Structure 1
Amino acid sequence: MARIEHFNNPNAPKPNSIVVAVTVFVQDEQGRVLLIQRTDNGLWALPGGAQDFGEYIAETAVRETREETGIEVEVTGVVGIYTNPNHVVEYSDGEVRQQFSICFLGRYVAGEPTTSDESSAVRWVAETELDDLSIHPSMRLRIDHGFEHRNQPYIG
């Protein structure tokens, strides 16, 4: 399903749903962050996705990371909560979703980067390489916050 990100766009369609979603900021022993290249829009992003019924939100973070990257993680904290009403995602099926995402801090447990139906590429990326990748501004904010190792989660 195709998706279009609208960010601070006054002509964006009005949202018709809010879905609890997660992203996960996890680093390897060299301090690189785990990123995927999304198959639906080609942008680089933290792994993540929507919560399923019957699932604790931290379980969502672990499951989505495993499904999209092949990497097992343990949730160790929260980078931030991202709810910008000026960021909506328009899907080809007519859904227009207002952003609601909790970005978790994860600890690498095991596994090798592996692609999936949702990720055409998976790799560990150094902070100095981020400017060379196509990353949506709202995703870049989460990544930057993850690298800052804040004392308190971002709420915005």
Structure 2
Amino acid sequence: MPKTKLQDIFFTALMAFVMVYAMICYNISLEKSGLSNDVFLIAFHEIIIMWPIAFVLEFFLVGKLAKALAFKFVSPEDKPIFILLAISSMIVCLMCPIMSLIATILFKHAGVQFIAVWLQTSVFNFPMALFWQIFFAGPLVRWIFNSSLSLINKN
């Protein structure tokens, strides 16, 4: 896990990219009634907007709040995996409705159905975001982060 501010920036940027890209692909697939090869390219049009937003939210607000909430359920003496899962889960619990709100504002054209569309988007996104974070994005980003630290420390 990150130990310095620069490491924290790198880790957060990488995690935000992996999560945002996957969630954009997921939402486009829902909109198109299925996944197709073009979804992966279409997603890059939205990621240039959503990735910086996710990074700023996570780095300056949600990360600290998620840790505070997680430590209401776990303690520093608990096994590291429980701490990791608690923090990751709290981040999803906070980021999912916030990012769904932003996506609803920017991309859904909800009009008078804004609240309903935002709630539906949040409900559809939450299980995917939690699953993706716990089983794929989190382990992948931690592996990339730890591998890059190992390479830097060798030099």
Normalization by structure 2: what TM-score? 0.30
Q: Greater helix percent: which structure?
A: 2
Choose 1 or 2 for highest CA Rg: 2
Q: Greater strand percent: which structure?
A: 1
Normalization by structure 1: what TM-score? 0.29
